[in-house]
Amino acid sequence: MPHFIAPSLLSANFRNLQKDVEMVNRSEADWFHLDVMDGVFVPNISFGLPVIESIKEIATKPFDVHLMIVEPDRYIERFRQAGADIISVHAEACIHLHRSVSLIKGTGAKAGVVLNPHSTVNLLADIIADADMVLLMSVNPGFGGQKFIRNTYIKVRELRELILRKNSSALIEIDGGVSLENAEQLVEAGADILVAGNTVFNSSNPEGMISKLKNF
């Protein structure tokens, strides 16, 4: 299966967000990646429901919404109504992870589970068959532009083995420090979706960069 590219709008130009959204619409990207931060679960605040609703009016590709928030269950239905097609919650933020995954699926959205760099893949052994996607953070969540954590390659392989062993159909997504230097190696290790923020939006040719990430 060819891999997916999901540009992260956290790195877009917020002075002219419509221009960057329209660029992603035109590009070979598959999804929009939207990072929602509350300043509690992670030490940063990004954007929330009103911004996502506004983007949805002009976006033509699915919304991959990554909730970096405490008590995500309280907001799942609202993010679905705002336009989320995939909703991912952190295993570290969910006391009852199976319940959270079930809530997401109950809205009709695809359910993703996120692991921070320090969390082991084995934490997902009892939920992997229910998840549609697992997002491995390859930097510590909260800020763009961080250095890629190389241990991610090992975690991708471990996660792929777990998915096969549990007969799961979950896709593997990587977020943090993705670039042309590591994209091919991540896909070879087993990644299905690459999230790219600074690599795309700091490029002199963002649309061309998306094409390179898609077609290496």
Closest CA to 23 of 201, 152, 155: 201
Token pair belonging to 136: 């491995």
- Catalytic annotation present for 132: no
How many residues in the chain?
A: 216
Q: Which of 20, 38, 132, 175 is catalytic?
A: 175
Q: Which of 35, 38, 64, 132 is catalytic?
A: 35
- Catalytic annotation present for 38: no
- Confirm if 83 and 63 have CB atoms less than 8 A apart: yes
Cα–Cα distances in Å, from 63 out to 17, 55, 135, 216?
15, 10, 15, 24
Closest CA to 64 of 10, 13, 18: 10
CB atoms within 10 A of CB 118: 10
Catalytic residue positions, numbered: 35, 175
